[in-house]
Each structure stands twice: as structure tokens, then as C-alpha cells.
Amino acid sequence: MDISSILQGGYQHPLSRSWQAKRNITKSMLMYPIFITDDPNAHVEIPSLPGQARWGVNKLEEFIGPLVKKGLKSVILFGVPLTCEKDGSGTPADDPNGPVILAIKKLRALYPELYIACDVCLCEYTSHGHCGVLNEDNTINIEPSVARIAQVALSYAQAGAHCVAPSDMMDGRIKAIKRALIDNGLGNKCTLMSYSAKFASALYGPFRDAAGSAPSFGNRKCYQLPPAAKGLARRAIQRDVVEGADIIMVKPALPYLDIIQDAAALAPDHPLACYQVSGEYAMVVAGARAGVYDLRTMAFETVESMVRAGA
């Protein structure tokens, strides 16, 4: 056999196999999504997200404490308001007594080292369930949408969030949020992580269950990207870099590894995040429960593929 044919000598040992990765997963790469609801004592299992629950602010210590001990370094908060009065502009999103702002303060006090990101969107708080403010004909009214989203992001930053992460996909919101942070003395105190390439995916179903954020009519295809739209994704990533994003994100992750790879090339000087979304998580768990594969092996394989692609 030719010398050039033999590769196996390079990965015959577990250690030399680990060297074949450009980068290995570390605990500090992972951010745990947390659903915070407005019943302070809630611990409600989410049937479509096995093993995950909606939590009340009083239960956060019981939930997060053991994870922090295991090495969890960061979380991303999602508000799940169940009792508030929703309206056209998502007024409850930045209610100072709402679940997200209370949870930021609680977590900062409990775990000073924990990095706290907040998802920023209006859909959990609007009466119509869309991610922006609507015109009379139910289309998105872009300028008030962006202004409102920037206001909510600013409120989370002022409450102590280390990072705000707009998931709404409204054009121009990165620039507006960055401006609002700078103008209020938080430009150097809060990271802006943009859901830059967020696709209109079938994989968000369990999240909508968890967050109660399904739109009451229509869908989100006018602002989330069409799944085949590689070019649009590339433009969105480049735009958000120019508008001041500190971190770029691709969402979902597994069906969009090529977009992750593109993002790594288009924004090589930015940290690149990807979101393994609720439906991906549910698939991984469901396959393991059906005996298709071992859960832990598959969990690592999926996340390693994202790191390999450039996350």
C-alpha cells in the first residue's frame, strides 16, 4: 500500500482522535435557554420538550444551582407571561415586575459569575402574537417595531443583562438597539447578540408550546428567512456586522450547517453562535427514546457538527 493511503495511524488512540478536531466543545460554549413564567412558584413540565420546564423566579435557585455547580456559565432567558394583559405593542415585555426583569435581578444576585443573556422579542407579549407592531392591514409596521424592540432591549440591559439577543428579525433593529445602549451609557456594558440568520423553520413548535407565542393569525414568513435563502442569510449576517452586532447567530442549527460555515467566513472576527432549537432538541430526545441511537452520543454528535461548521 502507498504511504499516502494510510490515515488510520493518525487517530488510533482516543487522545489522537481528539486532536483531529480544530476545536473541542467546552462547557463555556454552551448557553442554557430558560423559560421564566409569571407565576413565581411555577415548575411546569413542557410536554413537547421532554425534561424541560417553565420556571418561576422563586424556583430558579433550585433549578440553576446544580447546573452552575456542574459548570454552566451562561443562560438565555425567555419570558413566558401567562397572566399579563397583552396588547398591540407588547407592553408587558419590559414590565419591571415581569418575569424576565425579575429573573435577571435574581440570577445576578444568586450567581454573580453567571452570564445572563435575554432573548428580545415582542411575540410573547403582543395580543396578535407577531414579533413586531402591525399596520391596520396586519402587515409589519417596521419603524415602531424597531423602536419598541430597542426599548425592550434597553430595559433588559438596564436591569442587568450582560447580553441582549433580538430574535424578531425586524430590519434595522441591530443598529437601533446598539444606538439605544450607547445613548444610555450601556454601550460598553452589554453585548448585542443578533439572531442574524433566523429561518422560518418547522422546528420551533415545542418552543411555541413552551412560550405560548404562536401567532393568532398568519405566520412569520415575512420576517424570518425562507429555508432555501442562502443569499439572504449571507446579506443579513453582513448587515448585522455593519449595524453593530457583537455576536452573530444562526438559527436553527442542524439543518443550517452550511449557513454556519458561511457566517464563520463572512464574520471571521466575531464570535459565532448557533441555536439548537426546541424541535432539534425534541428530535434528539425522541430518537433516543425510540431506540435509534444513544442520547448522549447523539447530543455530542449534533453539537460537535455545529462547532465543526464554525460555531
| Closer Cβ to Zn ion, 77 or 267, answer by number | 77
Among all chains, which residue has been given the C-alpha cell 431506540?
291
User: Smallest gap, in angstroms, from Cβ of residue 105 to Zn ion?
Assistant: 23
The answer to whether 131 contacts Zn ion (rule: CB under 5 A) is yes
Q: With CB under 5 A as the contact rule, which of the stretches 60-68, 86-94, 124-132, 133-141 interacts with Zn ion?
A: 124-132
- Alpha-carbon span 264 to 270, nearest angstrom: 8
| Closer Cβ to Zn ion, 111 or 204, answer by number | 204
DSSP letters of 3-42?
Answer: GGG--GGGGSSHHHHHTTSSS---GGG-EEEEEEESSTT-
Q: With CB under 5 A as the contact rule, which of the stretches 67-75, 107-115, 125-133, 256-264 interacts with Zn ion?
A: 125-133
Region of residue 198 (phi > 0: left; psi between -120 and 50: alpha; otherwise: beta): beta
User: Smallest gap, in angstroms, from Cβ of residue 308 to Zn ion?
Assistant: 29
Candidates 123, 140, 159, 177; binder of Zn ion (CB under 5 A) is: 123
123 assigned binding-site residue: yes
Q: Please say if 27 is a catalytic residue.
A: no
Q: How many residues bind Zn ion (CB under 5 A)?
A: 3
Residue type, 120: V
Q: Helix, strand or coil for residue 115?
A: strand
Task: Provide the pairing of β-strand 272-274 with 53-55.
Answer: unpaired
Task: Provide the pairing of β-strand 191-198 with 74-80.
Answer: unpaired
121 assigned binding-site residue: yes
**86, 106, 178, 251: the active-site residue:** 251
The answer to whether 210 contacts Zn ion (rule: CB under 5 A) is no
Q: With CB under 5 A as the contact rule, which of the stretches 11-19, 30-38, 117-125, 239-247 interacts with Zn ion?
A: 117-125
**Could you tell me which of 271, 273, 238, 269 has the C-alpha nearest to residue 253?**
273
Q: With CB under 5 A as the contact rule, which of the stretches 48-56, 64-72, 77-85, 123-131 interacts with Zn ion?
A: 123-131
User: Smallest gap, in angstroms, from Cβ of residue 160 to Zn ion?
Assistant: 23
Dihedral, CA atoms, 142, 154, 163, 55, nearest 10 degrees? -90
- Alpha-carbon span 18 to 39, nearest angstrom: 45
| Closer Cβ to Zn ion, 121 or 153, answer by number | 121
131 assigned binding-site residue: yes
Candidates 121, 192, 247, 259; binder of Zn ion (CB under 5 A) is: 121
| Closer Cβ to Zn ion, 50 or 212, answer by number | 212
Residue 268, CB half-sphere, CA atoms under 13 Å: how many?
1
The answer to whether 253 contacts Zn ion (rule: CB under 5 A) is no
Among all chains, which residue has been given the C-alpha cell 433516543?
288
Q: Please say if 105 is a catalytic residue.
A: no
Are the CB atoms for 175 and 244 separated by under 8 Å?
Answer: yes
Contact set with Zn ion (CB under 5 A) = 121, 123, 131
Active site (catalytic) residues: 198, 251
